[in-house]
Amino acid sequence: MLKFPIYLDNHSTTQPDPRVVKVMLPFFTEIYGNASSSTNEFGWKAGAAVENARKQVSKLINSDSREIIFTSGATESINLAIKGTADAYSHKGNHIITVKTEHKAGLDSCKSLEKKGYAVTYLSVDKYGLIDLDELKNAITGKTILVSVMYANNEIGTIQHIEDIANICKEKGVLFHTDATQAVGKIALDVSKLNIDLLSFSAHKMHGPKGVGALYIKNKSLKIKITPQTDGGEQEKDLRAGTLNVPGIVGFGKACEIALNEMDSEISRIKNLRDTMYNGIISQLDEVYLNGHPDKRLVNNLNLSFKYVNSDALMMSMKEIALSTGSACSSGSMETSHVLNAINISEDLRHSAVRFGLGRFNNDEEIQYTIHKVVEKVNYLRKISPAYQMAKKGVYAEP
């Protein structure tokens, strides 16, 4: 039986898997010790659980467990990676390269460093959201210390050529960080094969709990230096002070274990649902535009612009379906998406963009209902749109 509301905002956060919640519960009520306490059994059990979770997390990205640093989430991981690297390598240079379509956590970290005298190059993207590899090569100078490029975009789902980017950085002797928050758990990802130096991700994007994330820091051929950004303790190899969120970390580990074991079947199932939604919508509506790369994109992402329809009006007309227009971190802003601005689509299409984010617990009945509602409401909103009525009379505007 169809249940409401239907949740299609899985890029902003995901429903915790019941299996994740189950393993977390004892660490609230029974094993509630401080993982840093080495003088009693409560602390020993908590510490052992953290280390087991560290192994589960590392296995998902094929790293050594000692290369995983637990944080409060991807935002903290990104800040630690960018600011911590900049501080640690400031004697070598003051130049950082990133991309205009990064998440605000990355962009704002770079803006913060600019205020301290660092130089930041913001790479442009093409109409699909991909960077130009030649532009990246040309941007690297003798003062460049870090390149930070998002693995998969949180708004339009475009997946960057990460291996090529990482290889360019390696050839140039520059560290490479990627915000893989939307990619980990949804894409088979091997940090060793990809030559990634630093990688940020979060539990709540893969059906784990909120309030916990991780930063992978390569510690094999090259020991990467990071300057801590918080003071007050020696936790996480002196890189991240603060009492560890043991229940969250345990849940994170379980979420990674589930993702690793079920990724292949989940990718296939969710892709089928997404393609069913896309084909169902475009077969019944004209002037619907796909934002992002048509093929090189996350299987759970569908970002569409419905010409002549305001996205806020569309979402308000379908309150039983949870959707968004873009990043959850900037959803209160009246400005159009910086990602859609960067891929250079027209202003009217930016204002008509809606992001559908599919997840583990969505099913075909929900997708069919969503198709029906989207088609119904878009047709209604166009019917009362003066711009649409003008277009119907032959005064068409270019998309």
Catalytically active residues, by annotation = 329
Which residues are registered as beta bridge partners of 361? none
Angle at 202 between CA 7 and CA 94, to 5 degrees: 130
Residue 327: name the closest of 71, 156, 149 by CA: 156
CA distance 237 to 310: 49
Secondary structure letter of residue 120 according to DSSP: E
Where does residue 280 rank: exposed (0-12), middle (13-18), buried (19+ CB within 10 A)?
A: middle
Residue 212: name the closest of 177, 243, 258, 257 by CA: 243
CA distance 151 to 130: 10
How far CA 174 is from CA of 85, 122, 127, 182, 274, in Å, comes to 11, 16, 27, 24, 37
Secondary structure letter of residue 16 according to DSSP: P
Provide the 3-class DSSP secondary structure of residue 171: helix
Amino acid at 287: E
Provide the 3-class DSSP secondary structure of residue 286: coil
First vs last C-alpha separation in the chain: 39
Angle at which helices 246-282 and 41-61 pack, to 10 degrees?
30
Where does residue 117 rank: exposed (0-12), middle (13-18), buried (19+ CB within 10 A)?
A: exposed
Q: Quick count: other Cβ atoms within 10 Å of Cβ 41?
A: 10
Q: Quick count: other Cβ atoms within 10 Å of Cβ 169?
A: 24
